Amino acid sequence: MMRKILALILKIQKQSAAGKLRRRGLSSEEAASGNIISGKSWDDFCDLLKAAGGSILGFDSPMDSLTRSEGFRYLSRLTRAGLENFVEGGNTGAPILRRLVHETVKMGNDNPDFYYKSTIIDGHRRYRITGHLGTTPFLIFSTQEGDYSDSAGASMPIAGQLSTDEMLIGENGRIEIILSNEREGENWLRTTPETKMLMVRELFGDRDRERTSELRVEALDKSTDSEILESRHLEDGLNRAGQLVAGASLMFARWSREFAGTTNQLPRFDQARSDAAGGDPLMAYYHSYWSLKPGKALVVEATPPECATWNLVLSNHWLESLDYRYSQIHVNKHTAYYRPDGSVRILICHEDPELPNWLHPQGHDFGGMCFRWNRADSYPQPIIREIDMSRLSIFRDEESQSPAKKMQYTPSIPKGLKNG
């Protein structure tokens, strides 16, 4: 199944390139115009969407109604995200920061504690980000060489990265960042000619109490792009949107099958592989898979090191985080209750155990999960074990004698290197 999907992606890429080569006497706009007029560009886009269905039907994926329903909804979400990002937001001369991953578009064991924004950019151009920071602990700005339309999403290396703790920050949290190939300005974010995307990850400590940043990005070079929709831009946008749906679903279906091999364990994910896929290089990831049997609970225990934050997130089979709008499906440094010795005990079970740090699986019996240490001074191994629900009474007795407590946390504007 994987080979068939990859073969179709490559076929459409080659057909597009071959078509342009056959039209050497035509401009790129004229060549694309022929494909738009004939309907070929649309057919190619629809072929990619159809091929993406193989990621749901293949890879030994579960055949129950809930998993399959979520799988095809997942493809519809990726389609929406792809069109929004590459067709509506594909003008690199007028970039707009959009939420590619959010409450109803998810992928790759996404992190509910990150407020993701991104935009398509051209690595040959210069850009400026301006705005005011909110009250979240910090932001990470990164430029990436590639996106999910490249190499089935497996190759998106970071060209440059800048976080607010490295930045000069002005009065009331005002910031300005220059994006360019050569160092420029007080806050510089490196790009390369191969750069295709700007990603902003804004960390929540306590989502219910914090205010996100207000940011805009603009191209500094004079734009030669037409205000009229050009065929070449539409064809490229449709192709890249289709590649996102087919590529991301393929890669993460493969990941899910792999993670199922370590069910109810938390092995550390290979850092180089994570970095290549666009992950945060200062984050240690423990991607895996969970499964709950009737009458059982999963207990995850760890002693957090000094770190910016940490969390544990539950996902479904397709590695979409469960719906964090309606119940607690993840816990982090600032929302967790700590035992007197500084450790945390997290419970995963269908029924409310009347204990702190309960994660609700929302009717799922299995799915992906991810534990993260963010900017930590060490990486202790989280321990996970399965117990009978009846044994939770021991934890309740323990809790009554020595209650777990939250740490104090007050949201504020990040200070960076300087705060005016």
Over residues 331-354, the mean pLDDT reads 97
Give the pTM.
0.92
What pLDDT is attached to residue 24? 57
DSSP secondary structure of 191-218: --TT--EEEEEEE-SSGGG----EEEEE
Higher pLDDT, 349 or 17: 349
Amino acid at site 23: R
Q: Is the pLDDT of residue 245 over 60?
A: yes
Count CB-CB contacts under 10 A for residue 206: 18
What pLDDT is attached to residue 275? 86
What pLDDT is attached to residue 420? 47
What pLDDT is attached to residue 15? 58
Phi, psi angles (nearest 5°) of residue 386: -105, 135
Local confidence band at 70 (pLDDT 50, 70, 90 cut-offs): very high
Over residues 323-351, the mean pLDDT reads 97
Tens of pLDDT, residue by residue over 142-191, are 999 987 666 555 678 899 999 999 999 999 999 999 999 999 999 999 99
Over residues 58-75, the mean pLDDT reads 97
Local confidence band at 276 (pLDDT 50, 70, 90 cut-offs): confident
Over residues 272-295, the mean pLDDT reads 92
What pLDDT is attached to residue 304? 98
What pLDDT is attached to residue 386? 98
* Rounded percentage of the chain residues whose pLDDT exceeds 90: 80
Most confident of 276-280, 342-346, 415-419: 342-346
Q: Is the pLDDT of residue 36 over 70?
A: yes
Within 8 A by CB and 6+ apart from 323, the residues are 103, 329, 362
76, 154, 256, 284 from 371: Cα distances, Å: 27, 21, 15, 8
The per-residue pLDDT of the chain, averaged, comes to: 92
Angle ∠(79,127,134) on CA atoms, nearest 5: 75
Local confidence band at 18 (pLDDT 50, 70, 90 cut-offs): very low
Contact yes or no for 35/235 (Cβ under 8 A):
yes
What pLDDT is attached to residue 308? 92
What pLDDT is attached to residue 156? 80
Lowest-pLDDT choice from 21-35, 80-94, 122-136, 366-380:
21-35
Over residues 81-106, the mean pLDDT reads 94
Distance from C-alpha of 370 to C-alpha of 368, rounded to nearest angstrom: 7
Please give the DSSP secondary-structure letter assigned to residue 124.
T
The alpha carbon of 113 is separated from its chain's Cα centroid by a whole number of angstroms, namely 11
Lowest-pLDDT choice from 83-92, 327-336, 361-370:
83-92
Over residues 245-265, the mean pLDDT reads 96
The residue with tokens 């199922």 is 260
Q: Is the pLDDT of residue 11 over 80?
A: no
List of domains in the chain: 262-401 (2.60.120.600)
Over residues 201-223, the mean pLDDT reads 92
Local confidence band at 21 (pLDDT 50, 70, 90 cut-offs): very low
Supply 287's token pair.
């991607």
Tens of pLDDT, residue by residue over 378-393, are 999 999 999 999 999 9
Lowest-pLDDT choice from 16-25, 50-59, 213-222, 397-406:
16-25
SS3 54: helix
Distance from C-alpha of 277 to C-alpha of 148, rounded to nearest angstrom: 9
* Rounded percentage of the chain residues whose pLDDT exceeds 70: 91
Within 8 A by CB and 6+ apart from 296, the residues are 349, 386, 387, 388, 389
